[in-house]
């Protein structure tokens, strides 16, 4: 399981992990299995762990006063999952994170991650690059949400994340894009004409 994480770290850095660094990482990242529909984090709990998905799929969502789920993130292999605000601020999460498929994760606490970042230059380099890419992706998603048509949002999603279309049902993708399932069906029909 840890080998996938080592490969992931190595693709984000020009540095190579030493065997001592790999040992530190192995001891800090704990394997966890989350069954389909089982929670990794529930609304109201403080996020204590981040997870690196080795196998499986998960979703992060909020539930409004009417009981409607709003998808914030979809995750598959080689994605990191957690509620960063809750973990950083030690506040109750407003999100749920659950497994859409049976999922194998490597989990780590925030203090252990911060410790690894100070001890392992590759980890620090990886986190810095991931933060930059995450900020860019968040900015693009926000801009798309406020300025693009539903058709354009779906096209961008399909082009950038084709694997998600295979792994998640249409109603979750519609929620992620901020459209109704009916709207997404109409968009897909128009695109296939």
pLDDT tens digit sequence for 92-110: 999 999 999 999 999 999 9
Residue 92 lies in a domain: yes
Residue 183 lies in a domain: no
What is the span of the domain harbouring residue 40?
2-119
* Whole-number Å distance between alpha carbons of 62 and 174: 15
User: Stretch 104-130: mean pLDDT, rounded?
Assistant: 95
User: Residue 19 is part of a domain; what is its CATH number?
Assistant: 2.60.120.10
For residues 56 and 34, the answer to whether their CB atoms sit within 8 Å is: yes
Residue 37 lies in a domain: yes
Residue 173 lies in a domain: no
Residue showing tokens 């192995």: 26
Query: Which tokens in the block code for residue 153?
Result: 């949002």
Residue 188 lies in a domain: no
Number of domains in the chain: 1
* Whole-number Å distance between alpha carbons of 82 and 97: 8
3-state secondary structure of 20: helix
Share of the chain above pLDDT 70, in %: 99
Residue 158 lies in a domain: no
Closest CA to 97 of 86, 109, 88: 86
Residue 13 lies in a domain: yes
Q: Tell me what pLDDT residue 104 has.
A: 98
Residue 154 lies in a domain: no
pLDDT band at 136 (very low <50, low <70, confident <90, very high): very high
Looking at the DSSP bridge assignments, the partners of residue 53 are 105
* Whole-number Å distance between alpha carbons of 21 and 18: 5
Q: Tell me what pLDDT residue 110 has.
A: 95
């Amino acid at each position: 399981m840890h080998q996938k994480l080592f490969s992931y770290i190595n693709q984000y850095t020009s540095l190579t992990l030493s065997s001592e660094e790999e040992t530190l990482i192995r001891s800090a990242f704990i394997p966890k299995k989350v069954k389909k529909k089982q929670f990794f984090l529930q609304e109201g709990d403080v996020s204590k762990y981040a997870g690196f998905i080795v196998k499986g799929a998960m979703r992060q969502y909020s539930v409004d006063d009417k009981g409607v789920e709003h998808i914030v993130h979809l995750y598959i292999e080689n994605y990191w999952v957690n509620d960063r605000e809750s973990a950083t601020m030690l506040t109750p999460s407003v999100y749920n994170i659950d497994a859409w498929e049976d999922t194998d994760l490597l989990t780590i606490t925030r203090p252990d991650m911060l410790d690894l970042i100070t001890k392992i230059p590759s980890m620090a380099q990886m986190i810095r690059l991931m933060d930059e890419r995450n900020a860019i992706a968040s900015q693009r998603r926000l801009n798309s949400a406020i300025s693009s048509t539903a058709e354009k949002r779906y096209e961008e999603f399909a082009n950038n994340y084709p694997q998600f279309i295979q792994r998640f049902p249409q109603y979750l993708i519609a929620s992620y894009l901020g459209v109704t399932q009916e709207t997404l069906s109409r968009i897909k029909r128009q695109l296939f004409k």
